[in-house]
Structure 1
Amino acid sequence: MNTVAVPTRRDAQPSVADVFVYAAAHIHRAAAAIWPDQSVSLECHVPSVTGYVQQARIGERLLYAKTSLLGVSLVSLLRGTRGTWSTVLEAQQEYQNRQDGLLHREAAQLRLLAEMGGPRTCRLAALRTGVIFTEPVPGPTLGELLLEHPGDTAVLLDRTFTELRPLHRPGAARQLAAVGVIEEHSIAGTFLRKFNGLSGTLYMDRLAECRNKAEQRQEMLQLVHRSVGRLRRLRMRLPLADGTSLAYGDLKPEHVTFPDGIDGRPVFLDPGLLRASRMVDIAKLVSRTVLTLTAHRPEASVVHQVLHGLDVFVKSQVPMLSGRERLLWLQNLMTLWLMDTVNIMTTYLSAPSALPLPRVGTALMDRVVPVFSMVASISADLESSTTVRGTWEGALNDALVVVS
């Protein structure tokens, strides 16, 4: 009699359970090897769509532990882009010891920033077999302070960028040569990887299987296709990404902490240094600030104050340029802003339902159509050939509609 072979769990696509059980055990083994005389217990899991993050208590010391599978996002891995679970496990054995692995580069960047004396970052506690341990940074995050003290938005953003000044100076990129960049956090690079050719079209079409409400999926798909097409064309206007300065890369309101309170210096988490203009950092901070407002939907007075402060801050960052060049600089900034918004929103949407999303990501799943409507509106204005359209003020008005 002929029999049909039933695939084992290892021959199937990775599941959330596979990844979480493996990652937690791997973190525990790494911690036990580093601190053999200390008790090791894993505490709460920190939701993320990129790597697996968990609090680890080593004796009386609380640390954050993070591991990455093959250097790709959890969402990408769980979609099967790196093959079956057995294929992933086999490749991970080699990847976790590579000196150019994602977390090896992140650890090297933390060491470099500590040597530079700024910007201040979380302290690296240890690195072993692809697991990075960092010390927690207590205190409110930038995102929390913006919501609690909206009238101080411009001051908080300016203080954040003042701390980043050593990276944004011309020539700072030379210090990164021996460490390695983290291009995984490049806005334009991520956008092109996601939406390149036929694979990008298939990726967008699969968003029909996403988390948002079924009755909204067709409208959402149309908005995504329209916006991505425009942004691909607008990308051709962007200046070359490489430069002599550094961008922090993964600059999000929840990755900036103020341990000494609102009047103190900020401390940054999860560096993703890359050779790029500071425009990249400004664009990501604008994108994620708008999404933070959209997720929390605070009262109207808070929204207006935060967006006004964002307006003041961005205009203070525009180089001394002529009128036409100033407009072009702002349009390039807005293009990167929209690319980053599309990048993270589609990542949230394509995440398996069993994968816990960060709190902001969960809240945004109820605002998918308004967010992509904003992207479609601003990108249409940017693509317009008339000088009246595509303005920074117009984009802020579109953002106000979404977050109100």
Structure 2
Amino acid sequence: MKKRFRAGVIGRTGRGNYGHGLDSVYLQTDDIEIVAVADEDAQGLEAAGKRLGVSNLYPDFHEMLEKERFDIVSICPRWVEPHLEMVQAVAAAGACVFLEKPMSQTLAQADAMIEACEQARVTIGIAHQGRMHAAVHHAKRLLREGAIGEVLSVRMRSKEDTRGGGEDMMVLGTHLFDTLRFLLDVNPTWVQSHVATEKGHPVTKANATDGPEELGLIAGDRIHAIFGLGNGVTATFESRRNQNDASGRMGLHIFGSEGIMLVHDGSQQIRIYEAPFWRPDQTAPIRNVSEEALAALPAEKNLSSKDRQMAANVAIVREILTAKEEGRRPYNSGHDGRWSMEMIHGVYASHLQGRKVELPLASRCHPLA
């Protein structure tokens, strides 16, 4: 008989809501039942109960965790401030955690989350859906096989819309940094960066503000950073506020000795330009990595981008539960989420110190504090 699992959902209507499908993911499974939902907002709680088909509704997630038994709990709010308290409470209740990104406001908080889960012997997975798509797994194999030759460098640009700069790096840069580490299977060892205002003035701690969505401290309208990876490759990250056609800019370009891999649309659209450099007057074959990956998965071939995102959420949940049973970290573990935070805070630390800094950071406090 197939094992069945019990799931809980923590939402926060008006203050992070229910994230990007972290609540409804369980409706896509036949062996995971949503047992209860918690939300401090009465109307939001009632609406979630109807949407998810759940009658056990709690205005306090602590009460829900005391009265119900769970195998996994989704911590859905996009707003970051309550993540630590929620993760610690879920871990203490003996349940695994599916956590919305960004993981935390500070590295100290990320450390505490990981410690709580490891002490409770439960697994924690972060909602970095990009590393779960079939295309990115196929791309990782191709890189390992030398499809673009020797990897030389990587260029990352974030969405660069009205959030460009510090907010963009925190909200969306976390995805890029996670995908970079996953594809190249290596961690950064150092970072050097420059963070400036819209007029080009270097930021100081005096420029730091409490970011929207309880992100914690952020600064800068323009960010340029270079990371040194453990394999000798360098990777740049850039975000500038209010760029035209911002949504199409976000992604990674991985430059190799024989080709360029382009990763866009949350890692769903991946192609290889089969030449080591690009020029407007030169044409070269383009290999569609995404189509190759989906050809082996007929069930996903005709899914919309949104549906593939939900399929990635399902894959994360499965991985969290399987990793718990096998006594290992999931592919998208809390350690991976913390590495994205290391890179984000490393950018600020390097800029403020005016030099290259080693990663992981020695200080676990926010560099802008």
TM-score (norm 2): 0.26
Normalized per residue, the structure richer in helix is 1
More strand by proportion, 1 or 2? Answer: 2
